[in-house]
């Protein structure tokens, strides 16, 4: 009996790395950044997360952000962000380009969940094009969901809002 | 006949009452898994972990940097006694650039403050050189890496990497060594992160907590409950007459 439970425990330990190993990479983040700046990406910068900014991010994400800084790439009014957010159990890596306070492009780069991969399609990510923040910290437009991919949709939408917030912060930081 | 059945009805009820209590508690708990965060709460009780046969690896790989012991136990990365992140397949080394601790593990580099707070996780996707073999310090404490593609040096902010020449002045830092000393506390922590309460309640509810005989036992209990319901109904109908 203990033998069976031992195998069960081993299975539990093995599950996460296995799941991670099955990540679908639609585009390498470095490639996305390079493409966003027409082949000439600027030197990365780091935005340090102040307690106030962490609080604002937590309000959007529903949990505190990981780490103390986030790297980004900036050329004049355009910033590019590569951000992670968990859909159901594993992080979805998403690239977001902000130009003049509105979203220019959203692309799902790495998808690790077993369900909800439909968010990678252009018909979904194109909805974010031109979106900005309203006064309440939400997107100024409605994003149509995808049935069966609710959590992934929610995660990408949160990341779009976070990217707009971070972009705004870089412009307000001296 | 009536008295005989009544006696058996009571005996059967008493016999399975304990199992029913467990079934009710585990069933209610499972119905509220998300609210109770059962999938996020881990079992710490040593006897229950022993029952499941869950153990921690008996040896670890560690390296000292800026007075901090960086350790990889199983696939968990610790700085002193603090869990930093998981999972990682290998610890390549760690360095200090005068501001941050840089740990090369798996295909990532993790940056920590001196207070061991995670600053950032850098991956190959973000420009980190692949297949790190060793960590060192270049001039002005810049972190250096050795990879099959050559030597690399980072900037002061640890944001980007640039190739370095073979003869660059780099002091290579000690490679991680296998250790079994003073790891008991970390082993206990490791063990306490494997089994969550949702799994335990599922196993209690299905009987699998008792091994392969458990589900058969639960089948028997289910049959007994059916018998109890049937005898109860029969006794009740007799009373009405």
ipTM score assigned to the predicted complex: 0.72
- Give the residues across from B68 on adjacent strands: B65
Q: Is B42 helix (H, G, I), strand (E, B) or coil?
A: strand
Interface contact flag, B51 A2, Cβ < 8 Å: yes
Q: Check: CATH 2.130.10.10 for B60-179? A: yes
Cβ neighbourhood burial of A14 (10 Å; 0-12, 13-18, 19+): exposed
- Reading the block at residue A88, the tokens are 């159901």
Interface contact flag, B195 A30, Cβ < 8 Å: no
Q: How does DSSP classify residue A133?
A: B
Task: Provide the edge-to-edge strand list for the sheet that holds B101-105.
Answer: B91-96, B101-105, B108-112, B118-123
Taking only the tens place, the pLDDT of each residue in B156-204 is 888 889 999 888 889 999 999 999 888 999 999 999 989 999 999 999 9
Domains of chain A, residue spans: 24-172
Residue B154 and residue B169 in contact, taking contact as beta carbons nearer than 8 Å:
no
Of B87, B121, B127, the CB nearest to A67: B121
Residue B125 and residue A28 in contact, taking contact as beta carbons nearer than 8 Å:
yes
Interface contact flag, B52 A43, Cβ < 8 Å: no
Of A44, A45, A68, the CB nearest to B119: A68
- Reading the block at residue B225, the tokens are 């409950």
Comparing CA positions, the residue from B110, B40, B6, B29 lying closest to residue B68 is B110
Pinpoint the alpha helices (H) of chain A. Answer: 2-21, 29-36, 51-61, 122-125, 150-172
Task: Provide the edge-to-edge strand list for the sheet that holds B150-154.
Answer: B161-164, B150-154, B143-147, B134-137, B171-172
Chain B: closest CA distance from residue A30 (Å)? 5
Of B119, B195, B212, the CB nearest to A9: B195
Domain with CATH 2.130.10.10 in chain B: 60-179
Residues in chain B: 241
Chain B: closest CA distance from residue A102 (Å)? 24
Alpha carbon dihedral A59, A64, A68, A70, in 10-degree steps, equals: -60
Q: Name chain A contacts of B126, Cβ cutoff 8 Å.
A: 29-30, 44, 71, 82
- Cα separation of A22 and A12, whole Å? 16
Q: Is B73 helix (H, G, I), strand (E, B) or coil?
A: strand
More confident residue, A171 or B2: A171
Q: Degrees (nearest 5) of the Cα angle A56, A58, A59?
A: 65
Predicted pLDDT of residue A7: 55
Interface contact flag, A66 B118, Cβ < 8 Å: yes
Taking only the tens place, the pLDDT of each residue in B2-36 is 778 888 888 888 888 888 898 999 999 999 998 99
Comparing CA positions, the residue from B44, B80, B66 lying closest to residue B191 is B44
Predicted TM-score of the model (pTM): 0.75
Chain B: closest CA distance from residue A63 (Å)? 14
Q: Is B229 helix (H, G, I), strand (E, B) or coil?
A: helix
Instruction: Say if residue A17's pLDDT is above 60.
Output: no
| A6 inside 8 A of chain B by CB | yes
Interface contact flag, B126 A71, Cβ < 8 Å: yes
Interface contact flag, A20 B119, Cβ < 8 Å: no
Comparing CA positions, the residue from A125, A118, A42 lying closest to residue A78 is A42
Interface contact flag, A4 B212, Cβ < 8 Å: yes
Interface contact flag, A1 B213, Cβ < 8 Å: yes
Predicted pLDDT of residue A2: 55
A·B CB contacts under 8 A? 73
Burial B190-217 (b: 16+ CB within 10 A, else e): bbbbbbbbbbbbbbbbebbbbeeebeee
Taking only the tens place, the pLDDT of each residue in B33-86 is 989 999 889 999 999 999 999 999 888 999 999 999 999 999 999 999 999 998
| A135 inside 8 A of chain B by CB | no
């Amino acid at each position: 009996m203990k033998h069976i439970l031992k195998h069960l425990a081993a299975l539990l330990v093995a599950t996460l790395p296995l799941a991670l190993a099955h990540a679908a990479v639609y585009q390498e983040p470095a490639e996305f950044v390079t493409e966003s700046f027409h082949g000439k990406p600027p030197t990365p910068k780091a935005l340090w997360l102040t307690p106030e900014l962490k609080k604002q991010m937590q309000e959007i994400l529903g949990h505190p952000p990981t780490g103390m800084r986030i790297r980004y790439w900036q050329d004049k009014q355009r910033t590019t962000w590569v951000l992670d957010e968990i859909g159901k159990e594993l992080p979805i890596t998403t690239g977001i380009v902000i130009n003049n306070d509105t979203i220019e492009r959203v692309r799902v780069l790495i998808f690790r969940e077993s369900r909800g991969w439909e968010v990678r399609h252009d018909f979904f990510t194109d909805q974010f094009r031109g979106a900005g923040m309203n006064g309440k910290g939400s997107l100024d437009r409605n994003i149509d969901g995808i049935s069966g991919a609710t959590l992934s949709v929610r995660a990408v939408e949160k990341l779009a809002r976070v990217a707009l917030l971070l972009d705004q912060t870089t412009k307000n930081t001296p | 006949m009536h008295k005989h059945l009544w006696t058996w009805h009571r005996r059967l009820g008493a016999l399975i009452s304990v199992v029913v209590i467990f079934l009710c508690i585990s069933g209610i708990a499972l119905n509220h898994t998300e609210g109770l965060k059962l999938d996020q709460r881990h079992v710490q009780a040593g006897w229950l972990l022993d029952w499941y046969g869950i153990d921690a690896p008996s040896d670890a790989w560690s390296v000292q940097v800026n007075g901090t012991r960086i350790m990889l136990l199983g696939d968990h990365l610790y700085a002193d006694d603090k869990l930093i992140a998981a999972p990682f397949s290998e610890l390549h080394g760690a360095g200090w650039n005068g501001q941050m601790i840089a740990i090369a593990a798996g295909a990532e580099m993790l940056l920590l403050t001196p207070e061991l707070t995670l600053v950032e996780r850098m991956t190959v996707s973000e420009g980190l050189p692949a297949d790190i073999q060793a960590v060192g310090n270049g001039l002005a404490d810049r972190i250096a890496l050795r990879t099959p593609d050559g030597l690399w040096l980072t900037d002061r902010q640890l944001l980007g990497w640039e190739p370095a020449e073979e003869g660059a002045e780099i002091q290579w830092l000690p490679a991680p060594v296998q250790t079994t000393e003073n790891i008991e506390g970390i082993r206990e922590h490791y063990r306490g992160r494997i089994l969550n309460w949702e799994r335990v309640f599922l196993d209690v509810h299905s009987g699998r907590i008792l091994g392969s005989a458990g589900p058969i036992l639960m089948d028997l209990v289910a049959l007994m409950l059916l018998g109890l319901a049937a005898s109860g109904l029969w006794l009740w109908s007799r009373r009405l007459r």
